[in-house]
Amino acid sequence: MATKSVLVCGAGGFIGSHLVKRLKREGFWVRGVDLKFPGFSETEADDFMIGDLRDQAFCRQVVDRRFDEVYQLAADMGGAGYIFTGEHDADVMHNSATINLNILDVCQKRNVRGLFYSSSACMYPAHNQEDPDNPNCSEGSAYPAAPDSEYGWEKLFSERLYLAYNRNYGMRNRIARYHNIFGPEGTWVGGKEKAPAAICRKVAEARFNGEIEIWGDGRQTRSFLYIDECLEGTTRLTRSDFEGPVNIGSEEMVTINQLVDLVADIAGKKIIKKHIPGPLGVRGRNSDNRLIEKQLGWKPSSSLRSGLEKSYEWIERQVHSNRRAA
Ligand code: NAD
């Protein structure tokens, strides 16, 4: 039997680069595409195209065959410091929407049966996430829509775009709403890093009894999903009969203060938290895994602590090798 071919858009990014490794282990021929190569390890893709998916002609070159699976992860995104300040709204919306419009159009013309699309928990209405102890992120709560960021609005628009192609062109696109994915080889410095990576870095840089800065009062809640679990959910959904949208996240909700305590404990350091103003996003957010469990008979199982241990170890190494290089 011929080797199946897979396309990963955003293969130079955090989730995409891990996905390529996993798909190679599964035996696929993999083409990756991105503006850049992965930042922390050599790509394992058989073919890696560097280019801009906002360019339609480039998208036609990328989708030059009927791929068996296509994962569309490319987006202009970052952590709270990037998507909640308002400074990047026009770029975030324009760039990500253009990528989705282009790639979906060329895939449909090449008779690709369906794509996997990574939406985000950021598309849920902000008013359902004001109570840090009881956020509502069940899939059915998405409408009436009221995301708290333009990043979330673009995700919602693109979800609808993928579903419209299912309805009108008989495609079988699959949509997941990711909730805070983390792990080694993710952005950990520079402004686009997310809370777990930022906290691991700050703790790794701090002395024993040192002080680290936390945005807000630290009582906002979130859940975080380890990368390997995310990939398991992603490939299961892509190969299932369920189109989604469905949450892929963890239900182990913690406050940001608890997250800091966990990381400090892993590092074996006593850490003092200094709360400062900063971009925050919603007050509470947690995955609701009832639908994925019902539809796919699966939900993530590893603990936040076990994922943080692996992430901290990796980030600590980056911090130390940066110090040696300085
Ligand atoms: P990432 O930023 O590491 O990866 C995205 C990749 O897309 C980057 O490598 C970037 O260079 C590439 N890209 C951006 N614009 C491009 C363009 N014009 N042409 C080609 N490539 C382009 O992000 P990630 O964490 O790996 O996230 C992957 C997807 O999952 C994104 O769509 C993101 O919105 C979604 N998501 C991620 C999380 C998370 O916690 N990481 C949560 C919710 C949703």
Task: Look at the chain and report how many structural domains it folds into.
Answer: 2
Domain identity same for 99 and 239 = yes
Domain identity same for 101 and 234 = yes
Enclosing domain of residue 307 = 184-223+253-285+302-318
Q: What pLDDT is recorded for position 282?
A: 85
276 within a domain of the structure (yes/no): yes
Q: What pLDDT is recorded for position 230?
A: 98
128 within a domain of the structure (yes/no): yes
8 Å CB contact between 183 and 172: no
Angle at 82 between CA 77 and CA 87, to 5 degrees: 110
The 10s digit of each residue's pLDDT in 153-196 is 999 999 999 999 999 999 999 999 999 999 999 999 988 788 99
| d(CA 75, ligand 1 centre) in Å | 4
Atom 11 of ligand 1: nearest residue by CA position: 35
pLDDT along the chain (326 residues), means of 10: 91 98 98 97 97 98 98 89 87 97 98 96 93 93 95 97 98 97 94 90 92 92 97 98 98 96 96 88 92 97 96 96 77
| d(CA 62, ligand 1 centre) in Å | 17
- Measured from the CA of 96, which atom of ligand 1 is nearest? 15
Give the up-direction half-sphere exposure of residue 97: CA atoms within 13 A in the CB hemisphere: 15
- Could you write out the DSSP letters of every residue in 207-262? PTTEEEEEETTS--EE--EEHHHHHHHHHHHHTSS----EEES----EEHHHHHHH
Phi-psi group of 209: left, alpha or beta (phi > 0 → left; psi -120 to 50 → alpha; rest → beta): left
Q: Going by C-beta distance under 8 Å and a sequence separation of 6 or more, which residues neighbour residue 93?
A: 150, 151, 153, 154
Q: What pLDDT is recorded for position 1?
A: 63
Q: What pLDDT is recorded for position 301?
A: 92
CATH of the domain at 261: 3.90.25.10
**Residues classed as catalytic:** 151
- Measured from the CA of 155, which atom of ligand 1 is nearest? 34
- In the structure, which protein residues have their CB atom closer than 6 angstroms to any atom of ligand 1? 10, 12-16, 34-36, 52-54, 73-77, 95, 99, 118, 120, 178, 180-181, 194
Residue whose CB lies within 8 A of the most ligand 1 atoms, among 7, 8, 14, for a mutation test: 14
Q: What pLDDT is recorded for position 248?
A: 98
Q: Which uninterrupted H or E stretch holds 304?
A: helix 304-325
CATH of the domain at 238: 3.40.50.720
The predicted model scores a pTM of 0.95
Locus of tokens 């030059």? 64
